[in-house]
Structure 1
């Protein structure tokens, strides 16, 4: 397995895909928008075309690798490696004209992500990581924060209709009662990258898909953080990534590892 060549391709294709997505973004009022699971779960031709660009490139470079993408599903492979692709994470802010969206690409083996690249075109930021190699933002090394914990820093939060809204409200109330400050930005992948960069002390979401979080998980682990194990690339699950000083407190307050609290996700 050639980690270095895959990392180079991942960064290059994420940047090129971001360029295509940005062109769609600049003409977003002309896009045809469809609802997927709910009216808040949207997709446009931009999502599909950007993922197609990524997949075609990966098929040319690494034909034996599997591919799993939000818009075009799973293509099996024989190498034991799977590329996990979210062409535009943060479709809602993308369509609303907000800058908080990104391209997210990971490579996973049987134990988890080994490469993670998140490119935010409108913010001109590219986060890159590889297992055992470190994490970088625009070429500069990054680490999770050692300055802040849950009581002094900012926690990222996400939620969707896969979990009961009342339970999400209870989680937020418990966090606030404990003195935590939290924010939501519209892209879970991007907020995970911000954990790796030390901007957030953590990010928690009761249910995410693998394409939303695998690149971010790689970044956080490579930057010295901790993550809640993700059970299956093909099944949604709880996500938590945080700096060591905040991880245990966030997990205790959110109980994201307790299915009796959150139910089927």
Structure 2
């Protein structure tokens, strides 16, 4: 099975590179916003559909027995191995011509994430991980940061229309009281990848979906980061919270924010 997964992920890297070119060609100029609202601050653009459809068709041609699930079209095929794609993660950024967005493609074996590719074409960066084989950024192995003091930590929290302002502010206050430096950049997949690479020491999203995290879960595990049990807590069925953190500050962040690993 390991060789079969490796074969799939190698092919998927090429597919995602081509998908990134589609997204770049369709990328709107600065300004906006461009796209349609699904809900307050929850955007979808023509590129979301085009990229998802392209990846889905390419996967189907190469691996017709594999399942496929996308943010825009849902689960269109079932299979023991299932691909989960967020065609444009950070759509609000993408739709304004901003740079912080990516394509996120994860591979799952049943309920277990086994591979992930996150392509950030503006940054010329490709994150790649396979379960048991390490996590990489542009071919170089990555690992979570060695920070142990929250007062020196850099932390990001995503904003979502699916949580209350009160809850968001409570979590932000808890983070600030630890002395962590806050950030918010609009792409959950890239923020989780930043935790895996040590660029961030923690990331919290109060409500996030499987397609946002499927690729990053493998990256985080292979990079030695700590992650709350997203799959076990119902992340396959609905949007739930995720907290990812460098191992040296994970318990402190978890205790302050009300999450356990």
Structure 2: distance between partners of 1:233 and 1:186: 22
> C-alpha offsets along residues 21-77 of structure 1, whole Å, 9 cap, x if unaligned?
0111155879962111x1311111111001111100111111111111101111232
Secondary structure of residue in 1 paired with 2:249: helix
1:150–1:246 CA contact under 8 A, matched in 2: yes
Matching of residue 12 in structure 1 with residue 14 in structure 2: yes
- Please give the residue correspondences for 1:81-100 in structure 2 after superposition, counting only pairs within 5 Å: 81-100=81-100
Secondary structure of residue in 1 paired with 2:170: helix
Structure 1: distance between partners of 2:42 and 2:8: 31
CA-based RMSD:
1.9
Structure 2: distance between partners of 1:256 and 1:160: 18
1:142–1:197 CA contact under 8 A, matched in 2: yes
> C-alpha offsets along residues 183-236 of structure 1, whole Å, 9 cap, x if unaligned?
011101001111111110111111100001111111111111121111232311
TM-score normalized with structure 1 length: 0.91
Structure 2 unmatched runs, 5+: none
Shift in alpha-carbon separation, 1:241–1:161, aligned structure 2, 3 A? same
Displacement of 1:250: 1.7
> C-alpha offsets along residues 83-114 of structure 1, whole Å, 9 cap, x if unaligned?
11000000011111110000000011234211
1:236 corresponds in structure 2 to 239
2:37 corresponds in structure 1 to 35
- Please give the residue correspondences for 1:170-185 in structure 2 after superposition, counting only pairs within 5 Å: 170-185=170-185
Structure 1: distance between partners of 2:29 and 2:163: 34
Shift in alpha-carbon separation, 1:46–1:207, aligned structure 2, 3 A? same
Which stretch shifts more, 169-178 or 225-234?
225-234
1:53 corresponds in structure 2 to 54
1:262 corresponds in structure 2 to none
Secondary structure of residue in 2 paired with 1:119: strand
Structure 2: distance between partners of 1:246 and 1:212: 23
Number of matched residues? 256
Secondary structure of residue in 2 paired with 1:108: strand
Secondary structure of residue in 2 paired with 1:151: helix
Displacement of 1:150: 2.5
1:141 corresponds in structure 2 to 141
Counterpart of 2:252 (choices 245, 249, 252) is 249
Structure 2: distance between partners of 1:132 and 1:53: 29
Secondary structure of residue in 2 paired with 1:122: coil
